[in-house]
Amino acid sequence: MTVGNPCRVMIVDDEVLIRQGIKHYFNWEEEGFLIVGEAGNGREALELIEEVKPHILLTDIVMPVMDGEELTKVVKANYPHIEIIVLSSFGEFEYVRSSFQSGVVDYILKPKLDAQSLLEVLRTAVKRMPDIYLSENHIEVTHSVDQLIDKLLSGYEVDSLEEAEAFFPHPAFFLLGADIKQTPGMQAEVKEQVRRVFAEKIDHAVCHPVKTDKEMLVFLLNIADRRYDEVVTVLKACSRHQPGCGFVLTSPFSDFANLGEVYRNRFLQLKQYRFYFPDKELVLQEDMSAAPGQPLHFHLEWLTEELKCGRFDTAFQYICEHGKKLSACCTAGVHEFKSLFNNIIFNVTILLRNIGYDVKELEIHQYRQMSLIEEAGSAQQVVSRLEAFIAEAKQCILQQQPAVDNPNMKMLLAYIDEHYMEPLTLTEVARHFHFHPSYLSSYFSNHNKEGFSEYLNKLRITAAIRQLNTSAAPISEISAQVGYSDHSYFCKVFKKATGCSPSQYRRKRLK
């Protein structure tokens, strides 16, 4: 590395707010460092390392997909020159000890993380790299521009825009996005093609990459006035030469200081619109004005009656048609849209169970399809997952007669399904139905595939999963809402049922 160039740092943490906070603790470039990339888990970090070539990796320990311990081992095995600093919580000593054995520089406790302690550890890491010498006097303009852009996109105010004005000399700005969901392994190729096309087709255009995630490359485009049509033509040609890659383009804006506002209020809307229309080669701001209105109300009460009366074909046809109508309405946020479909799947399973069908096998399909919905890159993919689940529900019905023919069990299950969110106990249910508790326990086990406690916990955990998918409420509040007065017991039961804690489950869903 050339003496005096910034030391390159990559941040790896599954919590976006922590990554943002670290990036803005201090002026990294003034201290001789440059943040070259960020990732939400170990796998994303490994995909970025070759592209951004960091000298230092600042990584969390507990993350989904690939944690910091495994990431440390892989990086040290394949990139031994990269120094690693670990972020940890108080309860992660075994992880930290294991990572030290893999050769990390140091660790920082998250609750005690501050600018000074972070700088000290970073400087310690630099001392272990003899070819790097930090210089506060050698800061290139492009690095300062990148930091300005990052602050504006993150919602921070900046003191001076002089460097940006020199770097972007033209009066018209656009935010341009290249959708790479269908071509995840071609980020570098798409990025280079976009920059090359604008360099060749539009004189003096500045096409600067500003943000990258697993779904979209983002560029800040700076050109002369009255060349909007020219930009659109170039992008359409670019899309045709890069199959599977589409683009979104904001309307022009003239003030660089408005970059963050344009990103949040225009660009993210265009990105959402593309989720509904993934085959459109170019999404423009004017397309949003023609967006369909709000979707129709889902008639759950009517659906319940149809299923109870055995009119399954009518009920399932309504569900599929409603799903297609929802996919044609691009006003709902992507998370909200996916939650609506997960709720439909959840309710169908509950209703079939209440009718008396054995849905144990269907529940496995339910969780698989809900997981695939969370990973879906387009509205059409979400609809196909719903249709796949409906096909599995039909198969469930065809393969069996209702498993509950006993009217007493039907009343018991219906009562539990209605009151599970209350502090329900076997004794209270027995009192309600005038049974002795021990007799009810035996009766329930003999006439149902699950015992009373197992059935009640499954119902509550399923409801908790539903809320974690659709609500931002605190986990302690969710545990109380689904019937658990003891939060620690809820966490224990949840982990036993799903294999992870409620907080880990929520973090996975937010990715």
In-domain check, residue 132: no
What's the CA gap between 205 and 171, in Å, rounded?
Answer: 11
Closest CA to 172 of 222, 209, 220: 222
- On whether both 264 and 162 belong to a single domain, the answer is yes
Residue ranges in 277-433 assigned as alpha helix (H): 300-308, 312-327, 334-355, 360-375, 379-398, 407-419, 426-432
Asked if 59 and 188 sit in the same domain, the reply is no
> Count of CB atoms within 10 A of residue 55's CB?
21
Measure the CA–CA gap between 288 and 269, rounded to whole angstroms.
8
Tell me the whole-structure pTM to 2 decimals: 0.57
Q: pLDDT per residue over 102-133, tens digit each? A: 667 777 777 777 888 888 888 888 888 766 55
Asked if the model's pLDDT at residue 80 lies above 50, the reply is yes
Structure tokens, 488 = 């620690």
Residue 2 lies in a domain: no
**What CATH number does residue 23 fall under?**
3.40.50.2300
What CATH number does residue 473 fall under? Answer: 1.10.10.60
What's the rounded mean pLDDT across residues 328-335?
A: 79
- Tell me, yes or no, whether 340 and 467 share the same domain: no
Residues 392/348, Cβ–Cβ less than 8 Å: no
Residues 158 and 100 placed together within one structural domain of the fold = no
The yes-or-no verdict on residue 134 having pLDDT over 60 is no
Residue 289 CB neighbour total at 10 angstroms: 6
Q: Pick 6 or 404 by higher pLDDT.
A: 6
Structural domain tally of the chain? Answer: 4
Among 97-111, 290-304, 328-342, top mean pLDDT goes to 328-342
Instruction: Answer yes or no: is 16 within a domain.
Output: yes
* SS3 assignment, position 243: coil
Which of 251, 266, 290 finishes a domain? 290
What average pLDDT score do residues 162-183 get? 86
Helix (H, G, I), strand (E, B) or coil at 212: strand
- Residue range 205-218: mean pLDDT, rounded: 82
244 contacts 182 by C-beta, under 8 angstroms: yes
Contact 359, 353 (CB under 8 A): yes
Total length of the chain: 511
> What are 433's two structure tokens?
């139905």
Averaged pLDDT score across all residues of the chain: 82
Burial class (CB in 10 A: 0-12, 13-18, 19+), 74: middle
Domain assignment present for 454: yes
pLDDT at 55: 92
Asked if pLDDT for residue 258 goes beyond 60, the answer is yes
Please give the Cα distance from 60 to 12 (Å, whole number). 6
pLDDT at residue 402 greater than cutoff 60: no
**Cα–Cα distance measured from residue 416 to residue 424, given in angstroms and rounded to the nearest whole number:** 8
Of 268, 290, 312, the position where a domain reaches its end is 290
**What is the pLDDT at residue 35?**
85
The residue behind tokens 């409620």 is 502
> Which tops the pLDDT comparison, 187 or 318?
318
Of residues 174 and 234, the one with the higher pLDDT is 174
* Residue 438, domain member (yes or no): yes
Q: If pLDDT is split at 50, 70 and 90, which confidence band does 296 have?
A: low
Q: Are residues 148 and 284 in the same domain?
A: yes
- Please check whether residues 53 and 93 belong to one and the same domain: yes
User: What pLDDT score was predicted for residue 132?
Assistant: 56
Q: Are residues 244 and 371 in the same domain?
A: no
Beginning with the edge strand found earlier in the chain, give each strand of the sheet holding 33-39 in spatial order. Answer: 33-39, 7-12, 56-60, 83-88, 106-109
**Pair 368, 362: CB distance under 8 Å:** no
Same-domain check for residues 112 and 196: no
Q: Which residues pair with 207 in a beta bridge?
A: 221
Distance CA 22, CA 60 (A): 12
How large is the average pLDDT for residues 414-437?
Answer: 89
Element of type H or E holding 248: strand 246-249
The encoded tokens of residue 389 equal: 């689940």
Domain boundary residue among 99, 127, 155? 127
Q: What is the dihedral of CA 272, 273, 275, 280, to 10 degrees?
A: -150
Pairing of strands 246-249, 172-179: antiparallel
Contact (Cβ atoms closer than 8 angstroms) between residue 448 and residue 408: no
Q: 98: number of CA atoms within 13 Å, CB side?
A: 14
Average pLDDT rounded to a whole number, residues 203-224: 84
Q: Is residue 374 part of a domain?
A: yes
Same domain, yes or no, for 476 and 503? yes
Q: How far apart are the two ends of the chain, measured CA to CA in Å?
A: 35
Comparison of pLDDT for 456 and 305, the residue scoring more: 456
Is 417 contained in some domain? yes
* Confidence band of 383 (pLDDT split at 50, 70, 90): very high
> What domain range is 341 assigned to?
300-351+363-398
Q: What is the CATH number of the domain that holds 191?
A: 3.30.70.1910
Residues 464-484: pLDDT tens digits?
888 887 777 888 899 999 999
Assess whether 165 and 284 both reside in one domain. yes
Instruction: Tell me the per-residue pLDDT of 443-470, one tens digit each, with 9 for 90 and over.
Output: 888 787 788 998 899 889 988 888 887 7
Token pair, residue 201, equals: 């087709």
Are both 218 and 276 inside the same structural domain?
Answer: yes
Selection from 91-95, 329-333, 499-503 with the highest mean pLDDT = 499-503
Between the alpha carbon of residue 438 and those of residues 66, 414, 428, 431, 445, the distances in Å are 47, 20, 12, 11, 11
Does the pLDDT value for residue 135 go beyond 60? no
Give the span between the Cα atoms of 22 and 28, in whole angstroms.
10
Question: Is 234:201 a contact under the CB 8 Å cutoff?
Answer: yes
The Cα–Cα gap between 15 and 119 comes to 21
Evaluate whether 477 touches 437 at the Cβ level (below 8 Å).
no
Beta strands 56-60 and 33-39, pairing class: unpaired
Distance CA 313, CA 219 (A): 49
- Residues 108 and 178 occupy one common structural domain: no
Sheet of 216-223, strands arranged across:
206-212, 216-223, 172-179, 246-249, 282-284
Residue 356 lies in a domain: no
